[in-house]
Structure 1
Amino acid sequence: MGRDDLYITVPSFFRCPISLDVMKSPVSLCTGVTYDRASIQRWLDDGNNTCPATMQVLHSKDFVPNRTLHRLIQIWSDSVRPRRVDSDTSSNNNNNSSNNNSPPAIDQVVDLIQQMDGHSSSIDSLSKIVRFAKESEENRKFLAKSDGFVQLLVEALGGGNASDGAHGNNNIRILEQIVRIIELVIGEIQDNEVLMRLTLKKSGAGAGDCLASLLLLLQQGSAESRIASTRVLESIAVSAESKLLIAERDGLLPELLKLTSPEKDPSLIEAGLSCLIAVSVPKRVKVKLVQLGAVKSLSKLLSDSNSTTSTIEKVLKLLETVSSVKEGRAKICEADEEDGSGKCCLSAIVQRLLKVSSSATEHAVTILWSVCYLFKERSAQEAVAKANGLTKILLLMQSNCSPCVRQMSADLLKMFRVNSKSAISCYDTKTTHIMPF
């Protein structure tokens, strides 16, 4: 074998100007220069707004696949493959191992979609589509707009019946990939009602099947697939009927509540809270949440010093939601006897006033206004006074709060002025300062 057979000359225009490697998925910028998709995406993600080769300022960061060049590279690759010597096998295997982690090209993804079966798909094919979807927003849009692709995913999700043993574990892994793809393309689906109708349809692979698969992932899936499952559930909770179907599916609400335990990862907690907020609009769902012990769980998160701002905002939003039913108000006012403190959830709410964010403060004041002023729960009024809530409300009146919060605070002060014999009864809610007492 000659020396020339050991070396392959690569046409220069097949190489990416950034990585200098043969392009796997060539795409062209508005400047007309073509790059490998992964390389130029990294360049743009780093905040650059110029063409790397020409340094021209980009009027648009969109790029389009260069299908002609892609086909030429494929033809060239096929022609030089027979010339590769056996001694390169080991090196090629290493390269292939590395390429397995690279996103596939659009043409490959189209083939993978065409080969998909709504009731059985390979983990390898699905994982390739996941990598493709994670690479860029353009890829996610492509998948969302691919004719019948979302329906195929939903059918695959509904058909995933895991069993015990290795086969069951394999099915769970397939479900994890499916729900991850759905989560990635959700943001590019223009009408979530379409996804809701597909997922919760009552014929064939109906609501029970898809919700059962999502429940299985919440119970046995990885942290990433649990988060993806909650986001899928949240995205299809777009109507009163869909919210009820989700909430009344045996086991779903308890599993979502388990995600909000303070011991869980913050990302899991926030995903669980967001989903619960989305499904808890109907009165029946609010009552069921209260019966499952949601108020106690949320109170623990409020009192946890490690809870993030976003978590506190979501906790208070959910408590505001359940405070609109009498069962919720009763639990919010109920003293916690387990820790011997005798404190109720209201104490934790008062402590968070003015300490988190304007959004959290608004939710907190709305809860206090609802239980103390609107529904005149006597035990709630006493708990707020005991937790030094009056001082917090007075401070809130002086702050740069919204007109709505200011009005609710004024209502609360008027109520306490009527019910109290303390110096607060002399306080004029129209003043803009705190009188000493």
Structure 2
Amino acid sequence: MLSYEMDNPLMGFETSFKGCFSSVLDTEKMDLKLIIEELDSIDDVPYVFICPISLEPMQEPVTLCTGQTYDRSNILKWFSLGHKTCPTTMQELWDDSITPNNTLKQLIFTWFSHKYLGMKKKLEDVQGRVLETLETLKKVKGQSRVKALKDLRKLVVSHVCARKTLLENGGVGLVCSLLGSFTSHVVGCEAIGIIVNLDLSLELKRKHLMHPGKVSLVVDIMNEGTIETKMNCAKLIEMLLMELEGNETMVEIVSSLSLLVGLLRLVRDKKHPNGVLIGLTLLKKVLCCHESIRSSMISIGAIPQLIEILPNLNNECLEIALYILEVLSTLEEGKLALKECPNIIPNVVKMLMRVSENCTQFALSILWAIYKLAPEECASKAVEAGLASKLLLVIQSGCNPVLKQKSSEFLKMCSVNYSTSIFISKCMLTTTIQ
């Protein structure tokens, strides 16, 4: 049996918890298992409370003859597997009895109860602050309103219970009511920052947000706010985009030139990769809303701007950007805009076989669109940029048959203006592959 008088690591805990026993009286009837589950994310549990077998907090600590302590269920399972040793020391057990460690059990219960009460008090404090702030918002204006919104946003961002309290107490309607024709941008920024952190039902979206005036305001704020505000506005528009089917007025607003310009500014901000991904994702979704949006994007110079940022994008962003360019390349004005971009062909050739099969497919479609406009010029520049060797790699890879076939046809077209020996040398392959 482990001695608690000699070199006992629990003695410090016993001393520190003497003042806590009175504070846990109302939790004594609670099951320790339930308390531990409620405190699932705790990461500072004392090591002496952890079962060496499961590495989880012990609920029924028992001690073996070797002096090692385990949770009852775990050590019994160890024995049921035929083991006759101590799991930690691997000593042969001269006595297979297990002794309940009530002192340790009480300490574990007290420690977790103290944490549980602290958590409950914190939750109650957060809920109270949310309710108090909502009441304040009903009464104040100007800078006082801005301050209340800032406080509420901090609570909502930091605490799940704050979001729940706001949703259950009419907070969505109150915050959304502050988004209107005469809303100042500073109020709008804070309100949007709150809304994007809420899990809103379709009913709440339609009731409080699906109004042309509110969506127009969000688009305006996106073009003038900080990078955080721009990202929040993009997130909110994306939240609403899923519900816009059949609503022509709303589609017209979210496909406005103002929004497209704002999103392009967002994706060109190299300092904020998260903003680039959010912007590209929304551009892709807006692109699918209506066919006229494609022409609008081309008219505001989306193609050269996207081509310019391709080399700086991470893999996820690169795939989305190439998808957008491929869609735009289906229009005649899109093909022309692609052809006129400086270094378009070398930049796109680099994307082949670089990231994913999807990227390769999108890049090949873009090159194909340019080739249709200027076959000889495109073929020459593409081969010089290493297209032939890339196409041969596609053909020899495990890509889908359609992509292989397209690569094979493109390779044949590119070889028309070259003799066999010159074309092979342009492929830049090893002697073996040649």
TM-score tier by shorter-chain length is: 0.5 to 0.7
Which of 296, 302, 305 aligns to 1:294? It is: 302
Give the whole-Å Cα distance in 1 for the aligned partners of 2:26 and 2:361: 56
Query: Letter of the aligned partner of 1:399 in structure 2?
Result: S
Any idea what the Cα deviations from partners look like across 1:56-75, whole Å, max 9, x if unmatched?
89xxxxxxxx9xx98xx88x
Give the whole-Å Cα distance in 1 for the aligned partners of 2:325 and 2:140: 40
Under a length normalisation based on structure 2, what TM-score does the superposition of the two structures give? 0.63
Query: Letter of the aligned partner of 2:34 in structure 1?
Result: G
Correspondence for 1:31: 33
RMSD in angstroms over aligned alpha carbons? 4.5
Give the whole-Å Cα distance in 1 for the aligned partners of 2:178 and 2:58: 44
The answer to whether the aligner puts 1:183 opposite 2:196 as a matched pair is yes
Correspondence for 1:245: 253
Give the whole-Å Cα distance in 2 for the aligned partners of 1:324 and 1:29: 64
- How far apart are 1:209 and its partner, in Å? 4.1
Q: 1:262 to 1:133 in 2, by over 3 A?
A: closer
Give the whole-Å Cα distance in 2 for the aligned partners of 1:15 and 1:261: 57
> Contact between 1:160 and 1:213, CA under 8 Å: does it hold in 2?
no
- How far apart are 1:324 and its partner, in Å? 2.0
Which aligned pairs between 1:106-121 and structure 2 lie closer than 5 A? 106-110=127-131, 112-113=133-134, 116-117=137-138
Give the whole-Å Cα distance in 1 for the aligned partners of 2:362 and 2:333: 19
> Contact between 2:189 and 2:221, CA under 8 Å: does it hold in 1?
no
Query: Letter of the aligned partner of 2:180 in structure 1?
Result: G
Give the whole-Å Cα distance in 2 for the aligned partners of 1:10 and 1:158: 54
Correspondence for 2:175: 153
Give the whole-Å Cα distance in 1 for the aligned partners of 2:191 and 2:300: 30
The answer to whether the aligner puts 1:346 opposite 2:348 as a matched pair is no
Correspondence for 1:12: 23
> Contact between 2:188 and 2:221, CA under 8 Å: does it hold in 1?
no
Query: Letter of the aligned partner of 2:172 in structure 1?
Result: V
Q: 1:125 to 1:272 in 2, by over 3 A?
A: same
> Contact between 2:222 and 2:262, CA under 8 Å: does it hold in 1?
no
Give the whole-Å Cα distance in 2 for the aligned partners of 1:389 and 1:317: 20
Which aligned pairs between 1:186-201 and structure 2 lie closer than 5 A? 188-191=199-202, 195=205, 198-201=208-211
- How far apart are 1:395 and its partner, in Å? 0.7
Give the whole-Å Cα distance in 1 for the aligned partners of 2:20 and 2:433: 87
Give the whole-Å Cα distance in 2 for the aligned partners of 1:322 and 1:137: 41
Give the whole-Å Cα distance in 2 for the aligned partners of 1:160 and 1:414: 62
- For structure 2, the 5+ residue unaligned runs are 1-18, 45-49, 61-70, 74-112, 425-429
Identity of aligned residues (%): 19
> Contact between 2:336 and 2:373, CA under 8 Å: does it hold in 1?
no
- How far apart are 1:301 and its partner, in Å? 0.8
Give the whole-Å Cα distance in 2 for the aligned partners of 1:113 and 1:269: 34
The answer to whether the aligner puts 1:259 opposite 2:266 as a matched pair is yes
Any idea what the Cα deviations from partners look like across 1:163-197, whole Å, max 9, x if unmatched?
xxxxxxxx51x322221222212xx3354x86367
Give the whole-Å Cα distance in 2 for the aligned partners of 1:117 and 1:182: 17
- How far apart are 1:348 and its partner, in Å? 0.8
The answer to whether the aligner puts 1:231 opposite 2:235 as a matched pair is yes
Which of 309, 313, 325 aligns to 2:315? It is: 309
Q: 1:352 to 1:29 in 2, by over 3 A?
A: farther
- Secondary structure of 1:353's aligned partner: coil
Correspondence for 2:420: 423
> Contact between 1:261 and 1:269, CA under 8 Å: does it hold in 2?
yes
Give the whole-Å Cα distance in 2 for the aligned partners of 1:267 and 1:313: 15
Correspondence for 2:156: 133
Query: Letter of the aligned partner of 1:153 in structure 2?
Result: V
- How far apart are 1:291 and its partner, in Å? 1.6
- For structure 1, the 5+ residue unaligned runs are 1-7, 18-27, 58-65, 75-98, 163-170, 202-206, 337-342, 428-432
- Secondary structure of 1:354's aligned partner: coil
Q: 1:150 to 1:414 in 2, by over 3 A?
A: farther
> Contact between 2:352 and 2:390, CA under 8 Å: does it hold in 1?
yes
- How far apart are 1:288 and its partner, in Å? 1.5
Give the whole-Å Cα distance in 2 for the aligned partners of 1:194 and 1:411: 52
Correspondence for 2:94: none
Correspondence for 1:355: 354
Any idea what the Cα deviations from partners look like across 1:68-116, whole Å, max 9, x if unmatched?
x98xx88xxxxxxxxxxxxxxxxxxxxxxxx9xx995335434544665
Correspondence for 2:387: 389
Which of 283, 303, 308 aligns to 1:276? It is: 283
- How far apart are 1:137 and its partner, in Å? 5.3
Q: 1:297 to 1:118 in 2, by over 3 A?
A: farther
> Contact between 2:222 and 2:234, CA under 8 Å: does it hold in 1?
no
Give the whole-Å Cα distance in 2 for the aligned partners of 1:53 and 1:222: 49
> Contact between 1:151 and 1:198, CA under 8 Å: does it hold in 2?
yes
Correspondence for 2:126: 105
Count residues in correspondence: 341
Any idea what the Cα deviations from partners look like across 1:377-410, whole Å, max 9, x if unmatched?
5354444334221221111122232344334323
Moved more, 131-140 or 282-291: 131-140
> Contact between 1:246 and 1:279, CA under 8 Å: does it hold in 2?
yes
**In terms of Rg, which structure is larger?**
2
> Contact between 1:397 and 1:406, CA under 8 Å: does it hold in 2?
yes
Q: 1:105 to 1:262 in 2, by over 3 A?
A: closer
